[in-house]
Amino acid sequence: GESVGLHLPTLSVQEGDNSIINCAYSNSASDYFIWYKQESGKGPQFIIDIRSNMDKRQGQRVTVLLNKTVKHLSLQIAATQPGDSAVYFCAENNRAGGSYIPTFGRGTSLIVHP
Amino acid sequence: EPEVTQTPSHQVTQMGQEVILRCVPISNHLYFYWYRQILGQKVEFLVSFYNNEISEKSEIFDDQFSVERPDGSNFTLKIRSTKLEDSAMYFCASSPSTDTQYFGPGTRLTVL
């Protein structure tokens, strides 16, 4: 799994498998979390977000789980496809002034084998 | 689907030179951001901009950096005197509110 600031881990899965990518965040005051996908040579792409008053949120093929007790986030991707291959990173957000300022992790590289 | 665009895609400059990185945010967005990502490292927040002024900035965003929204569509990041360590991908992002941000494809800045 990933922790904000640590080395980039890699997760290899077979097409059709479910993938789980983990993230540990550092600030217990963070109240908004986002998962991003970054393909090679591209900017981060929003996948799904969750607020601290929730512990689970589902999107299309993706689910984010939040455990505030241990400051842990996970991203679950169902039926992983080759197009899901990318670096995934979480961002914890703290509201400073009027807008959220994100702190990003370095990411987990997901490799999907056909 | 509207996208954030950035130009140029790659900028090569000599140390000490000024560079301007350009971004066109999504048209109805109100909040604008610059981030950088040094090769192999995590994305780092530089600055946020709202209502024609800086709302937040990080320690990285020192006096060498400035941002501007010169017209209704462009959002620029200027680095006055580039250093070798400024070499990175620079991402612009915009958002309609204070939450979800939409990122551009980035400008790769190489300082020689």
Q: List the CATH number of the domain containing B82.
A: 2.60.40.10
Domain boundaries, chain A: 2-113
Residues within 8 A of B (CB atoms), A 15-54 only: 32, 34, 36, 41-46, 49
B40 in a structural domain: yes
pLDDT digits (tens, 9 = 90+) for A10-50: 999 999 999 999 999 988 888 899 999 999 888 899 999 99
Find chain A residues with C-beta within 8 A of B4's C-beta: 43
Whole-number Å distance between alpha carbons of A3 and A16: 26
Neighbours of B44 (CB within 10 A): 19
Three-class secondary structure assignment of A33-97: EEEEEECCCCCCEEEEEEECCCCEEECCCEEEEEECCCCEEEEEECCCCHHHCEEEEEEEEEEEC
B100 in a structural domain: no
Smallest Cβ–Cβ distance between A42 and the set B48, B98, B105 belongs to B105
B108 in a structural domain: no
B49 in a structural domain: yes
Inter-chain CB pairs, A–B, below 8 Å: 60
pLDDT over 70 (residue A4): no
Q: Which ranges of chain B have pLDDT less than 70? A: none
Determine the topology of domain A2-113 in CATH: Immunoglobulin-like (2.60.40)
B30 in a structural domain: yes
Please give the pLDDT value at position B1: 78
Whole-number Å distance between alpha carbons of B106 and B98: 21
B110 in a structural domain: no
pLDDT digits (tens, 9 = 90+) for B19-32: 999 999 999 899 99
Q: Count of domains in chain B?
A: 1
Domain membership of residue B30 as a residue range? 16-94
pLDDT digits (tens, 9 = 90+) for A83-108: 999 999 999 987 766 667 788 988 99
Find chain B residues with C-beta within 8 A of A46's C-beta: 100-103
State the burial class of residue A8 (Cβ atoms within 10 Å of its Cβ: 0-12, 13-18, 19+): middle
Whole-number Å distance between alpha carbons of A87 and B108: 18
Neighbours of B51 (CB within 10 A): 9
